[in-house]
Structure 1
């Protein structure tokens, strides 16, 4: 079955009959019974490396770990970039299925360039809020990448668009989230997804060892504390499962490699879409592809160049139709420059992400607490593709239809 056939024909029908399928399922097949169905809240903290909470002595993160289920490390998809990671968290799939190849890429099918676009229509797999709505469960999405508009005619019941750089704040997001939880039961969403800024900007600006990262993490801990206090104040009649995940970590950068200097721009193609330490290169034909490959022989030692189809299996990238004809990876400590609209001196970020999950610096964290979640249990690691199936398990609905992960809740 092709992905296109699934999305155009079978998936809409599956969403329509999902409610009737669920009515025939035993309640205990998915989750343990509680006094009232819990609301499941997923909050992401951008750019928070797995070791930050312990390194900075953050009490709220530590308290959640003591009272719930946590993974010492959360493995991001490749490339470990914000849009890619949030697509994986929402769909339970890798880029070769959900189609978000990087923060920026060329979509040859439509002839358009993607650059941190906000619309859900770019997703090739159903996000978890579409599955919830299809099951008759109200959902809400707050400042979440790739959530604007609808997905194949399905939209969350409540939504606030992505707010980074638009006057939004993590504090405002938490207050909006608590307002949703305080709604009457017949209006209250049972699934809420929210993005928060974490320490991503600070990690880019100063590197993961910079003092600004500590300050950002202290703020993130305080924001999380406010959320937990607000949830406790709602009382037992409003049960909540709180899931906190970071999309990726942060790695130190020492140098930048200028790809554009090796591959001069000729009209539109070849086109270089750089995303930190990885790049997708698009060529117009086989001859140009080989010309570009030869030019890339001038890359510094440690760089790797793959045909899209020959990307290593553990990257789950070979089948990504929106990836470049050639995929280039920088070694740890390096990042790429692509074409710049403003020639001149370009600063090298002191921190970056986008490396494969085998680089420990880009690994994140995951913590769950609430009814139905084992208390005080720590897993050595989990994968970002496990998050959406876990959310579905907690909601009592089937997992994403083509999920690459599994639920962490028995």
Structure 2
């Protein structure tokens, strides 16, 4: 009987061992016993695997364990609740566009050599009186020193003081070369605009840089000759930049004296010629500037007295308020800057000239 019991016991032990190895857990060792020192096995004890010697689970055991794992919890699909649409972002209203700036297609600069501003108040000048009422004017502009024709015109058309433009003589001396640029004509020509000069003194050729003036005309030493050539240029398509130089007022000042009756009569006559030129222009797209290079006293000029250095400066054209009195200071080298500004061209940074602040040209 003991043998049968022992055989049954062994079979039961084998079943338990198989079950323990299948489930991968220790059925006989409690957690509290793990920290206790192992006791010596007594005779007849059944030896079981301990936690220090785990039996690797078999694939069958893995499937058994997975069968007892809880099934994953499904997250319920949220119910979409309709909401009110968001309020549209207000769009700022478009401001009313400003009217476009006046566009100046061309610039005409007229220089009456030797014209003092007070001469306009002592003789008959209906054209200049009308232009003054239509545009901007000052009788207190200033020329440069020395107050002579070539030096002053170099500043007028070159935008710089004599120290920069390098013209210090006052007669035609080809061996001395040309003005230091850039000039009004070179900037305009480089921008693709046509340029022209009609002059009454040959020495003004010193102001023509190579390739800067499309048409340079020495018309003769009389105002009538200059006006005739200028009117020829204005027929058809006029140049974009035109300079006209009238010499007689200066010549009569040297021969008869500044503010003498012959000179005042000469001023009245050149006023008529300026009227012919103004009538040939479309002042809705043309800036017309009338000015001078210097004044004079007695029969000469070149000094720093107000009679020699004060010059008139008049501008009429698109965007210029009628009857505007320009504020000082305004210098002869501001003339070229005003012309470029009106044409929408950049003013060279080395220039001293700046357009008058009051002018409403583009």
TM-score tier (shorter): 0.5 to 0.7
The residue number in structure 1 matching 2:119 is 52
The residue number in structure 1 matching 2:349 is 401
| Alpha carbons 2:119, 2:259 under 8 Å: kept | no
- State whether structure 2 residue 217 is matched by structure 1 residue 160: yes
The residue number in structure 2 matching 1:66 is 133
| Alpha carbons 2:139, 2:310 under 8 Å: kept | no
Aligned-residue Cα RMSD (Å) equals 2.4
- State whether structure 2 residue 235 is matched by structure 1 residue 205: no
| Alpha carbons 1:120, 1:149 under 8 Å: kept | no
Please point out which of 118, 140, 153 is paired with 2:196.
140
SS of the aligned residue for 2:117 comes to: coil
Please point out which of 158, 163, 167 is paired with 1:96.
163
Aligned-partner Cα distance in 1 for 2:195–2:348:
16
| Alpha carbons 2:179, 2:207 under 8 Å: kept | no
| Alpha carbons 2:178, 2:208 under 8 Å: kept | no
| Alpha carbons 1:141, 1:192 under 8 Å: kept | yes
Deviation, 1:246, is 0.7
Aligned-partner Cα distance in 1 for 2:183–2:107:
15
SS of the aligned residue for 2:281 comes to: helix
Larger radius of gyration: 2
The residue number in structure 2 matching 1:384 is 332
User: Normalising by the residue count of structure 2, what TM-score does the alignment of the two structures yield?
Assistant: 0.65
The residue number in structure 1 matching 2:233 is 180
SS of the aligned residue for 1:384 comes to: coil
Aligned-partner Cα distance in 1 for 2:175–2:270:
27
User: Normalising by the residue count of structure 1, what TM-score does the alignment of the two structures yield?
Assistant: 0.58
| Alpha carbons 1:119, 1:146 under 8 Å: kept | no
Aligned-partner Cα distance in 1 for 2:207–2:308:
34
The residue number in structure 1 matching 2:286 is 240
SS of the aligned residue for 1:367 comes to: strand
Unaligned 5+ runs, structure 1? 1-30, 104-114, 253-350
The residue number in structure 1 matching 2:300 is 352
| Alpha carbons 1:46, 1:200 under 8 Å: kept | yes
Deviation, 1:222, is 1.1
Aligned-partner Cα distance in 2 for 1:136–1:393:
16
Are residues 215 and 150 of structure 1, via their aligned partners in 2, closer, same or farther at CA, if it must alter by over 3 Å?
A: closer
How does 1:212-251 map onto structure 2 within 5 Å?
Answer: 212-231=262-281, 239-251=285-297
| Alpha carbons 2:219, 2:229 under 8 Å: kept | no
Are residues 385 and 359 of structure 1, via their aligned partners in 2, closer, same or farther at CA, if it must alter by over 3 Å?
A: same
Aligned-partner Cα distance in 1 for 2:258–2:204:
26
Are residues 102 and 70 of structure 1, via their aligned partners in 2, closer, same or farther at CA, if it must alter by over 3 Å?
A: same
| Alpha carbons 1:75, 1:383 under 8 Å: kept | yes
Deviation, 1:402, is 1.3
Deviation, 1:116, is 2.6
How does 1:258-277 map onto structure 2 within 5 Å?
Answer: none
SS of the aligned residue for 1:393 comes to: helix
Aligned-partner Cα distance in 1 for 2:349–2:124:
39
| Alpha carbons 2:106, 2:239 under 8 Å: kept | yes
Aligned-partner Cα distance in 2 for 1:118–1:222:
34
Deviation, 1:249, is 0.5
Deviation, 1:362, is 3.2
The residue number in structure 2 matching 1:3 is none
Query: In the comparison of the two structures, how many residue pairs are matched?
Result: 256
Aligned-partner Cα distance in 1 for 2:256–2:275:
26
| Alpha carbons 1:77, 1:85 under 8 Å: kept | yes
| Alpha carbons 2:151, 2:162 under 8 Å: kept | yes
Aligned-partner Cα distance in 1 for 2:128–2:175:
31
Higher RCO (C-alpha 8 Å, min separation 6): 1
Unaligned 5+ runs, structure 2? 1-99
The residue number in structure 1 matching 2:84 is none
